Amino acid sequence: MLQLSGKNGGGQILRTSLTLSAITGQPFRLRDIRASRSKPGLARQHLTCVRAMAEISNGSVSGDEIGSTEIVFHPGKVSGGNYHFAIGTAGSTTLLAQTLLPALWQAENSSTLTLTGGTHNPMAPPLDFLTRTFFPVLTTMGISIETELRRYGFIPAGGGEIFFRFCGNQKLQPISILERGDLIGQQIHCISAHLDGSIADRETAALCKLLDWHKNTILANHTQDADCQGNTLSAEIAYKNITERVTTFGERGKSSERVAAEVAKNIQNYLSSGAVVGRHLADQLLIPMALAGNSQFQTSATTNHIKTNIQTIESFLPVKFHHEPTERGCQIISSSESQNQAPPLKD
């Protein structure tokens, strides 16, 4: 049994461990779960990940309760099927999806996955980020996923619902993303729920001016199909080989101009960095590229989040990640088969 520690990380260590345990059949013990967070241990969304993975993998788990700082997970065999999991709060359905999808798309039969909770959460990638940036790369790797946003879920109410349909026995192909390629398009996207339409108008106009993009790049979605008020503003830039999307959340007391300024700063930082793969997408691509093998992409300087995720992956898989510095502080991250599997993380 692998002995893992979450002392220096958050929920990602838990989610990555669950995913790879189900895929490899390797049981694990994880101690000090989210020990560095202000409220350590399993929150509702993490507990849902644990119990959902136990169900789809026909496995068993101990320590699965709110606030628990240690679990022991024994996976069985992953089975495709029609699954529905509810977080019960505004916890992120996208992080739950990222945990379950890699195991299910390799099951022997097809699956559907319905998840309820938060779909647009400031502490996690919004669903739009998955569908516009992450899933297109998965498509080039041979993975096909149908996605449907059935209802928006904002904090604090949650209540959103997303649906996925995909075949089993899908095998990942290696990727190499070292250049952005030609510019294909730009988009400014505003989502507002139970809010006056003037808010979206001010946010999109301010962002359009800051980025000097044409007005025809603006897309606004006004919805009443949500349990509470919500607002996001995004800027997306699509190239032949990659798409980057940044999002900021509006909130009471935060001006439209400030929301737009935050989005503009983040997308301009990406454009000026010379990076190909954005840092959030880089983190999400690590498991697929480790499973595919012999893959590489260029990104900006790695974060502690990425480093911790890599260490966890290397504990489960006979794979080794490499870092090669490039211009302007960027680097190429590559994966290859390791002759000797890395030792487990130590407490």
- Residues designated as active site: 305
* C-beta of residue 190 within 8 angstroms of C-beta of residue 219: yes
* Long-range residue pairs from 317-325, CB within 8 A, at least 24 positions apart, any chain: 317/20, 317/24, 317/290, 317/291, 317/341, 319/290, 319/293, 321/286, 321/290
DSSP H or E run through 147: strand 146-151
Question: Beta strand pairing status for 218-223 and 183-193?
Answer: parallel
Round to whole Å and give the CA distance between 287 and 102.
Answer: 8
* C-beta of residue 233 within 8 angstroms of C-beta of residue 204: yes
The single residue listed with the structure tokens 């009443």 is 224
- Phi/psi of residue 181, nearest 5 degrees: 85, -175
Round to whole Å and give the CA distance between 266 and 91.
Answer: 24
* C-beta of residue 153 within 8 angstroms of C-beta of residue 207: no
Amino acid present at 192: S
